[in-house]
Amino acid sequence: GVPLLFSGGSGGVGSLGTLRKNRDDLQAEVAKKKAQLALAAEAADPMARFQRRSLPTDRELAGSLYQEWLREKVTGAGLRVTNFDPSEPQSGRGAYWKYRFTILARGTLEQITRFLYRFYSADHLHQIRRLTFKPIEDSDQLNLVIFVEALSLPGADHQDELSAETSKRLKLPESDDREGDYVRDIVRRKMEEGRDGGEARFVESGGLFAAYQPPRRKVEVVVQKAPDPPPPRPPGFDLTKYTYVTSIVEVDGRPQVWLDVRPKKGPQ
């Protein structure tokens, strides 16, 4: 037969494990380098990034798909739509097609937050041009007006579907409930209840609006005592030397003395 040789101990197994680890490390490094190259390519050519995010090149399909997607994000967040008005696509001189949507809706601050999170989580070439809301009296509801724009570019990566990529524009770190993190940060907001180091309370969406209270300012009043006036200057000569009794009379039974002061300019 053919003799077989086996290396004893754990050296052989350890060597194989080391090789596999090195292989995995190299593959991870290659993937990292590829990602860095892709980012560098996008930075060098912004149009490539825009085409990746663009709506499909089919003009009618792009508008239909995006309208369906946008409506689902609004209603899926719990907002009640009262009007959804898509405008006719506008051409940008052959450089793009612009799609505009005006949405009237009603909902709570939490529902608005959830919609905004889902809107900005999608890496479409779109934006909210304007968002206005007005509180409804005696309610936690708000009336909303949302203006949305989206673009379709020639040469887009997607021909008949929307991009499924996730946007990297959101600031809060990844978590198991990132949407909930935004809701907690925005809806359950702190409002100052006690000034000057007092306790603060949390108010849900119903307490979003409150009467404005200017911040209190500490005013220090410093009272400075005015200095005592200087004593009157003594006369340049002694008046008693020049005072003469001119008469002594009695008026109503009371004596009066009449004096005549005759100051001189110099000592006598």
Domain that holds residue 27: 17-51
Which of 173, 189, 205 delimits the end of a domain? 189
pLDDT at 143 (0 to 100): 95
pLDDT at 248 (0 to 100): 80
Same domain, 71 and 149: yes
CB 99 within 8 A of CB 66: yes
Same domain, 23 and 120: no
Q: Quick check: is 2 in a domain?
A: no
Same domain, 183 and 88: yes
pLDDT at 254 (0 to 100): 85
pLDDT at 99 (0 to 100): 97
Which of 189, 205, 226 delimits the end of a domain? 189
Strand residues in the chain grouped as ranges (E): 80-86, 90-91, 97-107, 126-135, 142-152, 189-192, 200-203, 243-251, 254-261
Same domain, 43 and 146: no
Same domain, 110 and 24: no
Same domain, 119 and 40: no
pLDDT at 40 (0 to 100): 66
Q: Which residues contact 210 (CB under 8 A, 6 or more apart)?
A: 191
Q: Quick check: is 73 in a domain?
A: yes
CB 151 within 8 A of CB 96: yes
Q: Which residues contact 89 (CB under 8 A, 6 or more apart)?
A: 59, 63, 97, 98, 99, 152
pLDDT at 264 (0 to 100): 57
Same domain, 40 and 111: no
Q: Quick check: is 228 in a domain?
A: no
Which of 163, 189, 215 delimits the end of a domain? 189
pLDDT at 132 (0 to 100): 94
Same domain, 143 and 29: no
Report d(CA 182, CA 119) in Å as an integer: 13
Q: Quick check: is 119 in a domain?
A: yes
pLDDT < 50 stretches in the chain: 1-13, 190-206, 268
Same domain, 83 and 180: yes
Q: Quick check: is 264 in a domain?
A: no
β-bridge mates for residue 152, sequence order: 55, 97
Q: What is the identity of the amino acid at 231?
A: P
pLDDT at 29 (0 to 100): 87
Same domain, 162 and 124: yes
Q: How many domains does the chain have?
A: 2
pLDDT at 10 (0 to 100): 47
